Amino acid sequence: MMYPHPIIAKEGWPYLALVGALTLLVHFLGGIVWSWPLWIIFIFVLQFFRDPLRIPALGRDLVLSPADGRIVVVEKANDPYAGREALKISVFMNVFNVHSNRSAVNGMVKEIQYFPGKFVNADLDKASTENERNAVVIDANGQMVTLVQVAGLIARRILCYTHVGDRLKAGERYGFIRFGSRVDIYLPLTAEPLVSVGDKVFATNTALARMPGLD
């Protein structure tokens, strides 16, 4: 499950190859006058699929952010995937954020649930229950942590590479969402949030909460 961090995510290689080849062909045949819109698209695709190496936040009992973006929810809520009341923290990713998803904690994957759905703006609360989504429930030293990849307005592909029974390490890459989305994190009510609505966070680099008892 470890990923070599090649700077550009493997999910983007086919897109870059296709757009790059088309851009070079049009540039060769028509020059910059005809190719400049394609160069802009190429640069956009390049930045979207960047996948930089991340260094985990230092400290004890930390829950790491599974995604880059902006905090849009910090509240008590029902976790429908693990059947409990939980602390919910949601990270909204726009098209300019890195879209690799990384595990928030060390633990074993206990359950994976996929739900087809709509593609409303992922910044809206109803996206958590109405949009296409994929939930991964992790047993983190006896405590349940649920990570939910939620498709967005123009996201059309949720990728999850982990399986039930896998052991994930905090900061380990486990999935990817293409083109704008969010990740919902459900934690035990004993967890102490370290972020507020509006904060910018970075996958693995930022600690979302402190949860006593993590290994």
Alpha-helical (H) ranges within the chain are 13-30, 32-48, 127-130
DSSP 180-212: SEEEEEEE-TT-EE---TT-EE-TTTSEEEE-T
Catalytic residue list: 181
pLDDT tens track for 149-197: 988 666 557 889 999 999 999 999 999 887 668 899 999 999 999 999 9
Choose among 108, 106, 99, 122: nearest CA to 203: 99
Would you place residue 47 in the very low, low, confident or very high pLDDT band (cuts 50, 70, 90)? confident
- The pLDDT, as a whole number, for residue 21 is 95
Tokens standing for residue 17: 């190859």
Query: Please, which residues have CB within 8 angstroms of residue 147's CB and are 6 or more apart in sequence?
Result: 66, 101, 103, 104, 135, 136, 138, 183, 184, 185
Distance (Å, whole) CA 198 – CA 159? 26
Distance (Å, whole) CA 25 – CA 131? 38
CB atoms < 10 A from the CB of 106, how many? 18
Average pLDDT of span 47-57: 85
Of 41 and 131, the structure prediction assigns the larger pLDDT to 41
**Pairing mode, strands 69-79 and 84-93:** antiparallel
How does the average pLDDT of the chain come out, rounded? Answer: 88
